[in-house]
Amino acid sequence: MSRADPELAAAFQASDFSESLLRARSRPVSVCIPVLNEAATIGAIVETLAAMRADGLIDQVVVLDAASTDGSRTIAAQGGAEVFDQSSLMAEHGPARGKGDAIWRSLAVLSGDLLCYFDGDLDGFSRSYVVGLLGALLANPDVEFVKAAFSRPFRDERGRVAGEAGRVTEEMARPMLERFYPALCRFRQPLSGQFAVSRKLLGSLPLSTGYGVDVGLLIDVYRAVGIGRMAEVDIGRLQNAHQTLTQLEPMAYQVGLAVRQRLESEGRLAASEPSPGGPAGPYMDVIARPPFDAVRAPGARR
């Protein structure tokens, strides 16, 4: 796909980039993983990233823990990651309100000019994931945001592949993007937590708390820099934990709220109060944290 066309996002394969590109970089790189009870997977992820750091491919590995009770924090620290409690960062803003808030608060401790984020429940984590996402940024100076594309088989309790996963993506996120932001439909995994971004861009954008962060960030990047500065990298097969429909309800609710809030800010939808019929639970309301660089905390990198 031509980089000369400002109406199209670039598309790459992870294999388009090699580790030598990361080794020769001049810009520091930080990798961040928000976690909540990911003891089964976080050790292998951190081990892989620590080895990449030792090889000079990345500079910093940070795990942001949401008060895990299964030992995730200890496992990550023993593996060589810098580990922080999410709510201890930007503590004046109260307890961390889910994944999106963790990403916003991460800017207080990440030192890289290029940032790469991964979920903490990925099984079979590969160096190629990191090389693919960062490679697209390093090889294309006009690209500021890279989203992962991947196949994600659904495995039932017997371990069999029962069909493709991504129910919230297909039933909530994609229909809303098709209706209101059709240019973003070319991204195969709009809710993916696997992405890379320039520190300058991420620090200039508001971030939705909770599960609304991924679709909200996709829309906000598009509005800020345009589709021509966005890219997608196919990293192959990715496997992570699956949830029941009951567990997915809060995610779908927050994704819908994040999109609605952006439509309201654009004047395309009348402002309204969140529906009282939404799922119960802490922090179900999606709030927008202001651009981090507008509220820099003491000790933040910039």
β-bridge partners, 85:
65
Identify which has the larger pLDDT, 83 or 297. 83
The answer to whether the Cα torsion of 284, 183, 199, 238 is positive or negative is positive
CA-CA distance, 11 to 149, in Å (whole number)?
A: 9
Q: Which of 53-57, 108-112, 126-130, 153-157 has the lowest mean pLDDT?
A: 153-157
Strand order across the beta sheet in which 145-151 lies: 10-13, 230-237, 145-151, 195-198, 114-117, 29-35, 60-65, 82-85
Check: CB of residue 68 under 8 Å from CB of residue 39: yes
Q: Which pLDDT belongs to residue 1?
A: 36
User: Does the model's pTM come out above 0.85?
Assistant: yes
Q: Which pLDDT belongs to residue 239?
A: 61
CA-CA distance, 49 to 83, in Å (whole number)?
A: 14
Flag whether pLDDT at 201 surpasses 80: yes
Q: Which residue carries 């297909």 as its tokens?
A: 170
For residue 287, the one-letter residue type is I
Express each pLDDT in 39-80 by its tens digit. 999 999 999 999 999 999 999 999 999 999 999 999 999 999
Give the confidence band of 242 by pLDDT, cuts at 50, 70, 90: low
Express each pLDDT in 147-189 by its tens digit. 999 886 655 555 544 444 466 677 678 888 999 999 998 898 8
**Burial annotation 224-263 (CB, 10 A radius, 16+ → b, else e):** ebebbbbbbbbbbebbbebeeeeebbbbbbbbbbbbbbbb
CA-CA distance, 91 to 88, in Å (whole number)?
A: 5
Other C-beta atoms within 10 Å of 279: how many?
13
